[in-house]
Amino acid sequence: MLRFWRATINSLNGLIFAFRSERAVREEVVALILALPLSWLVGVTPARRVELVVVVLLLLVVELLNTAIEKLADRLTLDHDPQIGRVKDMGSAAVGVALAIAGLTWLFAIAERIGII
């Protein structure tokens, strides 16, 4: 039980640090807060409402991992290193893909709600 408690505290500390230090994380937390009530308006079924919230959570997870990669890379060296630059670009690409998944999921649900689909 103590291990679980410590892991929870570490996770909370990481989330707080990312929230304080990264604008993108703050923006995605705001998106998550907005997604909670909006999913009830947009989602046609309970499962669709859950999907709409989960894709925003997925986006936040990918952003947290990207932030961790960037912080670690910056800790290694602040000099320009082409390999580190490519690693950071891949993390950014992962965020972009997650954002596309979230956006397409929301667009599909809106189209479903208004009867296009």
Q: pLDDT tens, 7-18?
A: 999 999 999 999
pLDDT for res 98: 98
What is this structure's pTM?
0.91
pLDDT for res 117: 83
Whole-number Å distance between alpha carbons of 28 and 66:
13
For residue 80, what is the DSSP state?
-
pLDDT for res 44: 96
pLDDT for res 12: 95
Half-sphere exposure in the Cβ direction for 34 (13 Å, CA): 7
Q: What is the pLDDT of residues 18-66, one digit of tens each?
A: 999 999 999 999 999 999 999 999 999 999 999 999 999 999 999 999 9
Set 27, 63, 70, 112: catalytic member: 63
Half-sphere exposure in the Cβ direction for 82 (13 Å, CA): 0
Residues with Cβ < 8 Å from 110, sequence gap 6 or more? 42
Reply yes or no on whether 63 is catalytic: yes
